Structure 1
Amino acid sequence: MTTRHVIVGVDGTVIAVRALDLAADEAALHATALEIVYAVPDLDEAGPVLASAASRVGYRHPDLPVVTVPVKGHSAAVLAERGREAALTVVGCRSLGGFAGTLFGSVSRRLAAHAHGPLLVVRGDSPPHLHNEVLLVLDAEDDVDTAAYAMQEAERRSAGLRILRSSAHRHPAPAPVPQRRREGTASHFPTAGDVLVELGEQHPRVHVETQDTAPASTQTLLEATRTADLVVIGCRAGLGGYGRQLGSVARTLLHRAHCPVLVVPAGQESGTPSPS
């Protein structure tokens, strides 16, 4: 068992149930606990919803440690704050209110901009693990953390890794690792391509496929999410280090992807919770 946990917001809506199921699956996959949070004006109202959520998780994952937390406050602010120490925060994106928001609603949007760690936004209607593929969208060649995170998530799921890379950021194919080690200098900053080559040697069971696409090829991007179980995209700190800076690709995926979207902040070293 690991110390960091998965956190999910619920509000009793259908999409919140989908977020709950996905969060429970992720907690089981990461071998860590699940924290279920409900933010309400009156804490007495939270009891039935949280009890129902815990019961559902217990039925699907009998051995998964579950904690339920009723909290007063705004949904997005509560999840952002409680997610500071979480391995992953999960939220829905389509509902009439509460945690799920409207379409890519207020809660999902605010969390995408202000969450402190990896954020998984529920999208699409396909069952989990249907395609056995993780899609990594590289919006820039310095998405080193995103590349490492995606590779580890693919191995954790026993899935292949498909890399969709903008041609605007294409670099020459990285040299073999021994050659790079001979030629490397202290001033060399690894690109995502460098990291993927190194990780490919560390995770030989992950089949990797790379596809280059034009920067404006939104249709190619969205079509690729139809055959993925998860799409991984990076983000950077906002101005002054406050919040997150979401690029146009990340915003497109969060609004229109056909599968769950995992937003990984720069500096996230691993998709694996820290060991106790």
Structure 2
Amino acid sequence: MSEQKTLWDYAKYAPRAPLHGHVLVGVDGSDQAVRALDRAVAEAQARYAPLEILHGWPWAKHGAPEAETGERDEPSLVDRAHHVLESAVARVRERAPELDVVATLSPEPAASELVRRGERAALTVVGNRGWGEFTTPLAGSVGLRVAAHCAGPLLVVRGDLADSSYGRPGHETVLVGVADHTDADAARFAFEEAQQCGAHVQILHASTFAALLGSHGPVPAEQLQADLATEIRRADAVPRTAVATVREKFPEVEVQIDTVWGGAAEALVEASRAAGAVVITTHRRHSRGLGRRLGPVAHALLHRAHCPVVLVPAA
């Protein structure tokens, strides 16, 4: 008869008090999770911060597992979870032996535990497993649920396999979407990241001719031209004003400010082709029966961006 094991036989992985100011990464043994782990290692190194590797119950919706009895040829779910963490820790030790690493096997669902522990983390990192399989924001993906509820910055690893971190050749841009002054925290995060990896910041502001679209009746050509010039000046001033204070704190970071005409989602998705990461503010909405939902720009980037996406919750 095989030995009976439960989660608590692996005491070194038992849940513990959350760290503070660390990098938190969720792993589940998938290729996407390995990419997220590698990125989390790079982020922890850049911050000189501890790294916490979290694996939550994949079977949490069925309740905590009972001790197994009888003969079995295949590893138990607990054994597999143990192996996921062992493999993750070994990979980190090989790549970054200097890092302080904590590995946690939690009896809670992965999404809720990532949200809870992420409250004290400097950054939470997840892979993009399943992003393209769903059409609604809360349709079962762990990453989407974390994105809809996380209290701190969340990095979702997207893009090509070879481009797992910014600051690499050909990807020396941290892109940040700015609509108004409420995006100051996202801009600050982008500047901090750019400073750490020697990249420059591209500030992108998308605008429409809202004032002109509201006009009624025919407009003389001279007035239309004057209104158009005024609207262009106003739009160009928005991102400069919104990040003025942040720029003063990072004078050594090179900045490029672009204003485009059209939808923000499409503009950011296209600009992400040449970026190492795209950073935006997360503006969440409450929907009856669905809880918190992401805004359309965040949702579009999580499904279609060509590089990692960083979501910074609105203050």
Q: Which has the larger radius of gyration?
A: 2
Residue aligned with 1:263, SS: strand
- 1:90-109 alignment runs, 5 A limit: 90-94=125-129, 102=133, 106-109=141-144
1:75 maps to a residue whose letter is A
- Measure how far apart 1:201 and its partner are: 2.8
Q: 1:245 to 1:210 in 2, by over 3 A?
A: farther
Separation in 2 of the partners of 1:202 and 1:144? 12
2:277 is aligned with 1:260: no
1:228 correspondence with 2:228: no
Instruction: Give runs of aligned pairs for residues 74-113 of structure 1, distance below 5 A.
Output: 74-94=109-129, 102=133, 106-113=141-148
Identity %: 42
SS at match of 2:144: helix
Give 1:198's aligned residue. Answer: 245
Q: Secondary structure at the match of 2:175?
A: strand
Report if aligned partners of 2:157, 2:309 keep a CA contact under 8 Å in 1: yes
Mark the runs of 5 or more structure 1 residues left unpaired by the alignment.
175-190, 268-276
Structure-2 separation of matches of 1:213 and 1:172: 9
Partner residue in 1 for 2:151: 116
CA distance in 2, matches of 1:244, 1:154: 30
Q: For the Cα contact (< 8 Å) 1:43–1:72, is it kept in 2?
A: no
Q: 1:46 aligns with which of 73, 77, 81?
A: 81
Equivalent pair of 2:239/2:257 in contact (CA under 8 Å): no
**More divergent stretch after superposition (6-15 vs 162-171):** 162-171
Is the CA contact (8 Å cut-off) linking 2:23 and 2:44 kept in structure 1? yes
With over 3 angstroms needed to count, the CA separation of the structure-2 counterparts of 1:84 and 1:201, relative to structure 1, is closer
Q: Are 1:147 and 1:192, in contact at CA under 8 Å, matched by a contact in 2?
A: no
State whether residues 164 and 211 of structure 1, in contact with CA within 8 Å, keep that contact through their aligned partners in structure 2.
Answer: yes
Q: Partner letter of residue 164 of structure 1?
A: L
Taking a change above 3 Å as real, the CA distance of residues 19 and 36 of structure 1, as seen in their structure-2 partners, is: same
2:102 is aligned, of 58, 67, 70, to 67
* Bigger mean CA deviation after superposition, 220-229 or 249-258: 220-229
Q: TM-score, normalised by structure 1?
A: 0.79
| CA RMSD between the two structures | 2.7
Number of residue equivalences: 245
Q: Which string of whole-angstrom CA distances, capped at 9 and with x for unpartnered residues, describes residues 220-256 of structure 1?
A: 322211111110000135449x976532211111110
Change (3 A) 1:238 1:146: same
Q: Give the Å deviation of 1:17.
A: 0.2
- Which residues in structure 2 correspond to 1:113-192 (within 5 Å)? 113-125=148-160, 126-127=162-163, 128=165, 129-130=167-168, 131-168=171-208, 171=234
- 4-13 or 101-110: bigger deviation: 101-110
Maintained 8 Å contact 2:281/2:311? yes
1:247 corresponding residue in structure 2: 295
Q: Structure 1 residue 9 and structure 2 residue 18: aligned?
A: no
| Post-superposition offset of 1:196 | 2.2
CA contact (8 A) 1:146 1:234 kept: yes
Letter in 1 for 2:263: A
Residues 36, 125 of structure 2: 8 Å contact kept: yes
1:218 deviates by 4.7
Task: Report the 3-state secondary structure (helix = DSSP H, G, I; strand = E; otherwise coil) of the residue aligned with 1:135.
Answer: strand
TM-score in terms of structure 2 length = 0.70
Partner SS, residue 243 of structure 2: helix
Report the secondary structure of 1:4's partner residue. coil
Residues of 2 paired with 1:155 and 1:258: CA distance? 22
